[in-house]
Structure 1
Amino acid sequence: MQTFIQELQGNFFLRSPKQTTPTLLYYVVRINNKKVRLATGVKVYPQHWNKREQKAIISSQHPKLTRINNEIVNEKIDEYLKRFSQFKDYLCNNPAEITNCGDLLKSFIYNKMSENCIGYLRKRKDEDKTISEGTKKDYKSALDNLERFCTQDNAVNKFNDFTKKYIKNYYNYLLSIDDNPRTKDGKLSVSYVNKQISQLWNMLNKYAVENELMDYSILLEWQNRGAWEKKDKTKNNEKGIALRDDEIIKLWEYWFHIDNQNDKDILATFLLECLTGQRFSDIEKITDNLDTIHSTTTIQLTQQKTGKTIKVGIIFELAKTILKQYENQMPQSFTNDHSNKRMKVIGKAAGILGQETITRHSGNDTHVQSIKKQRYELLSQHTGRRTFITLLALREWSANRIKQYSGHSEIEMVERYTKIRDGVQYEIFHNAIKNNPAQILRYVDEDENKKLFGEQELKQPLYHYPTNDERFQNEIQEAKEVLAMFNVPASKFVGLSDIDELRSMMYGIEHQLLNVIEDRKLIKAIFNNADKSLEEKANELHELYLSCKDMR
């Protein structure tokens, strides 16, 4: 029988050509009257696919991100075509393997295509827009450890090589490491090792299985690892602390003594995490949709990690104070690593002292180590979330109520973040309320303060920010003049002295303006001009409003 290998052809097809969202691209080759379908691992919008040219469309009319995504698709197509050509050359020189050429093609394309599985996972991780920078950092660490294991005669040629047996060997290898430069004993903690396996499972599921480069049945074999995964004996005493009320107030007092603006911004951001319970990846969003109605200021945001949208009121007065200090804008942001390093320095300078005992279970050790550290050494951006939940737990909030503010989906996670180890912490908290109430964080809601402090007469705490401060009197008056200029009923604002609520009403004018002024950028340019007073902004907006209205 004659066979003409060089005449073999393949075509690219969309998995779902009629859908409106990005769909997977496949390469299909007919060999020995059988179709061989090869997953490319890339996606494209069906309307951007040129079936005749077998390319993703690159157009200057497309947004930059779309062009970048389509360029990635075309690069993948070129790589497949190159590998397919090499495959045909190989068969021409090895005709005895033609009978098994379907499996050979898959092996040839995938093994050569991805160069190595770890390289493929790294690329997918870097391109993933749905995960936080913290998760990317964790994934990178997991891949670095896996790569080290692979170089010691444990290489994988394809994703289906990640079997249960392979993973168990890898797990035992991680537990045996004794030369890690980042730990005193050179060993990896059990919790870290367990997390490495969990992260690898997540990556394989998301990047390999989803793109049909790995059989899900193989991944399922080691999804449940309870039978052979080592239990971390320190699980209930995890590294990390929650700050007390007086420590938060102490940090805010220290804020006024910091000369370096970067450190002031890092500290202010950290305190807002402590007082709102939002993750480092979400904290910058808290001012995006601030709204004040009847003196209640609310935060609305969509959390990056879970995609969950929350809308909650600001609980602590100090959070409003900090936001007012920054004119309801977030402080300058810095990377997680830099912020963590600086917070340890800031915490020490501010006087966050006291010794903590941290337990560590590492490697193949059967015993748990105890390590003494100062409280400031344990400060990190995640301390904020622990602190917020613990502050509310001390105030006897239920876990179910707390999770409405933190955004956790499970009550168990709220309980895990609560850093109350014994009844002594409740006793300390309640004694402080009785004997030193100025060192206890105040609620925004005065009724809640009365429940917390009882009938005792309270002195204004150091962080209190009076609503009748002279700093805001001019702005309050100007805001009322602007509202009157745009025909807002006087009954809605004439008796108000809360600048937050007046600001909220001011920005509500935008909807009225947009009905006449079509270009939103013109409105934003005036509103965001920090060099002009509210009165000047109002006059400029009013003139723009009238001129656009006359043109309609």
Structure 2
Amino acid sequence: MSSLEIPFYLKDPKSNHETKIYIKKSINSKQFKYYTTESVNPDNWNFQKQKAKLIDSESYRLNDYLLYLSKIVSSKIKIFKRLYKGDEIDFDLLRKHIDIEIEDNPYQKDEEIKAEIKNSKISLFSELDDFIYLKSKKTKDGKIDKTDPYYKKYNNVRNKLIKFNKHIGETLTFDHLRKFEMYDLMMDFLYYEIENSTNTAGRFIGFFKTFVKFCKSKYVKELSDIDLSHWKKVTEEADVIFFDEEQLASIENFQYPEFSAKDMCRDVLVLLCHTGMRYSDYENLKPFHIKKTHIIKSFIKTKSKNNLIPLDGVTRRIIDKYLKRYRETGIFFHKIALKNFSELIKVISKDAGLVDDISLVRNYGKVRKEFVGPFYSFVSSHIGRRTFITLSLHRGMSIYEVMDITDHADAKSLKPYAKVSDKALIRSHKNAWD
């Protein structure tokens, strides 16, 4: 549905060129038409919302003008209906008064009216929808390509904001963002209500700030006072949220019924810990990527200089288990929804006895907050990659060899993982001094 008070139509909606935009409104059972001075190519028109598709600055200007015009026409129609008291309205006179109103208040020159219209109509969710449409790839018929990564990313942001609405009991608006405490409410929601990992919460904050920055550039006057500089991407101390060798062995050796949900999730988790793959990489893994001694990295989501991931004895056994099933049933690894995987690996970690309380410090800009809980409660899908990097470095692989496998861009990215764990420190000290 259109967000405009008065519906707009195209004179020739099938034209290959620009065509006039006009108003059509039923008044006292008669059709009133008013042709605007504006034209648009039908390819650039959103017929459902009855306004221009947001593709450039001109489309923003046009939609603002149509909104302005719809308010004038709506106001004049109400006045004429009241004055004529049910009698037939003189449409020519109505058009004349609309023209006078527009002439007396030229839209292009009247900044106060523009600001008033925008302020009264800026909707965070409508702007987000327009932002998603503008940034996402389109299909040939002009619709959003829902396989586009940009669409997936920001549609996920939208879905979380809808859940946040329910969490706070009202619809999120730009006015909410003017409240300093909104950041804390959002972070509590991300961590405790929907149990996002630190990385996931950090990505959300980054994406959301990008969207708000875009809106501020569009509505310079109206949103200039919104300051999200304190909405920091959260970081955490990485040394406590990887599996050490004993913990990883406990998970590897815990027995589940073969090909049960827990068994398959545990196998995937171990595979990630031994290869450094992301969960999204595992989702794209196919049998033809598997070689005798390694995995071909053609499916990895980032460009890779090195083309393989070596297989060790543990990963070889897991791969062979699922290749055998593939030959028998045509099913390789089951595709497990990330949400389900994230929940199950917490249960698996608990089953394996990883229940000791640990302290996790998260940094909100300059503010440090400490969280205490059982180890398994902090386990997320990213722990596999962290475990691989940390244990590889502890076992003597060079940082550049690890980078070659994980495809990190520079050594700085791996610096947090190079911090030695307590057990590794004790072991090294013992080897040196005992």
TM bin (shorter chain): 0.5 to 0.7
Q: Is 1:80 matched with 2:70?
A: no
Find the residue that maps to 1:401 and give its secondary structure. helix
Give the direction of change, closer, same or farther, for the CA distance of 1:317–1:35 in structure 2 (3 Å limit). farther
Find the residue that maps to 2:277 and give its secondary structure. coil
Aligned to 2:336: 334
User: Match for 1:300: what amino acid?
Assistant: K
Which of 207, 212, 236 is the matching residue for 1:199? 207
Aligned to 1:117: 127
Aligned to 2:250: 250
Q: Indicate if the aligned counterparts of 1:340 and 1:380 stay in contact, CA closer than 8 A.
A: yes
Find the residue that maps to 1:326 and give its secondary structure. helix
Aligned to 1:140: 159
Q: Indicate if the aligned counterparts of 2:355 and 2:376 stay in contact, CA closer than 8 A.
A: yes
Aligned to 1:297: 294
Give the direction of change, closer, same or farther, for the CA distance of 1:231–1:339 in structure 2 (3 Å limit). closer
Q: Indicate if the aligned counterparts of 1:361 and 1:368 stay in contact, CA closer than 8 A.
A: yes
Aligned residues between the structures: 353
Per-residue CA distance 1:330-386 (angstroms, 9 max, x = gap) = 4212211211221122222223344322235679xx975544322222222111111
Matches within 5 A, 1:431-446: none
Q: Give the CA deviation at 1:29.
A: 7.1
Query: CA separation in 2, counterparts of 1:395 and 1:277?
Result: 15
Q: Give the CA deviation at 1:174.
A: 1.9
Aligned to 2:312: 316
User: Match for 1:321: what amino acid?
Assistant: R
Q: Give the CA deviation at 1:319.
A: 1.0
Query: CA separation in 2, counterparts of 1:28 and 1:288?
Result: 57
Query: CA separation in 2, counterparts of 1:26 and 1:114?
Result: 30
User: Match for 1:298: what amino acid?
Assistant: I
Query: CA separation in 2, counterparts of 1:105 and 1:13?
Result: 31
Q: Give the CA deviation at 1:144.
A: 5.4
Q: Indicate if the aligned counterparts of 1:360 and 1:369 stay in contact, CA closer than 8 A.
A: yes
User: Match for 1:173: what amino acid?
Assistant: E
Q: Give the CA deviation at 1:10.
A: 8.8
Q: Indicate if the aligned counterparts of 2:183 and 2:231 stay in contact, CA closer than 8 A.
A: no
Aligned to 1:402: 402
Higher deviation after alignment, 245-254 or 133-142: 133-142
Query: CA separation in 2, counterparts of 1:392 and 1:216?
Result: 50
Query: CA separation in 2, counterparts of 1:251 and 1:341?
Result: 15
Find the residue that maps to 1:357 and give its secondary structure. strand
Q: Give the CA deviation at 1:152.
A: 8.1
Per-residue CA distance 1:286-328 (angstroms, 9 max, x = gap) = 3354253xx5323223444x46686213242211110001117
Give the direction of change, closer, same or farther, for the CA distance of 1:387–1:77 in structure 2 (3 Å limit). same
Q: Indicate if the aligned counterparts of 1:122 and 1:143 stay in contact, CA closer than 8 A.
A: no
Give the direction of change, closer, same or farther, for the CA distance of 1:429–1:385 in structure 2 (3 Å limit). farther
Query: CA separation in 1, counterparts of 2:15 and 2:294?
Result: 52
Query: CA separation in 1, counterparts of 2:154 and 2:39?
Result: 32
User: Match for 1:100: what amino acid?
Assistant: P
Query: CA separation in 2, counterparts of 1:269 and 1:407?
Result: 20
Find the residue that maps to 2:298 and give its secondary structure. strand
TM-score by length of 2: 0.60
Query: CA separation in 2, counterparts of 1:420 and 1:286?
Result: 31
Query: CA separation in 2, counterparts of 1:259 and 1:189?
Result: 29
Q: Indicate if the aligned counterparts of 2:276 and 2:385 stay in contact, CA closer than 8 A.
A: yes
Q: Give the CA deviation at 1:183.
A: 6.6
Aligned to 1:358: 360
Q: CA RMSD in A?
A: 5.5
Aligned to 2:102: 97
Q: Give the CA deviation at 1:145.
A: 4.9
Q: Give the CA deviation at 1:258.
A: 3.0
Q: Indicate if the aligned counterparts of 1:241 and 1:419 stay in contact, CA closer than 8 A.
A: no
Aligned to 2:3: none
User: Match for 1:275: what amino acid?
Assistant: H
Give the direction of change, closer, same or farther, for the CA distance of 1:149–1:248 in structure 2 (3 Å limit). closer
Query: CA separation in 2, counterparts of 1:140 and 1:334?
Result: 20
User: Match for 1:318: what amino acid?
Assistant: V
Which of 128, 135, 149 is the matching residue for 1:130? 149
Per-residue CA distance 1:437-472 (angstroms, 9 max, x = gap) = xxxxxxxxxxxxxxxxxxxxxxxxxxxxxxxxxxxx
User: Match for 1:333: what amino acid?
Assistant: K
Find the residue that maps to 2:339 and give its secondary structure. helix
TM-score by length of 1: 0.49
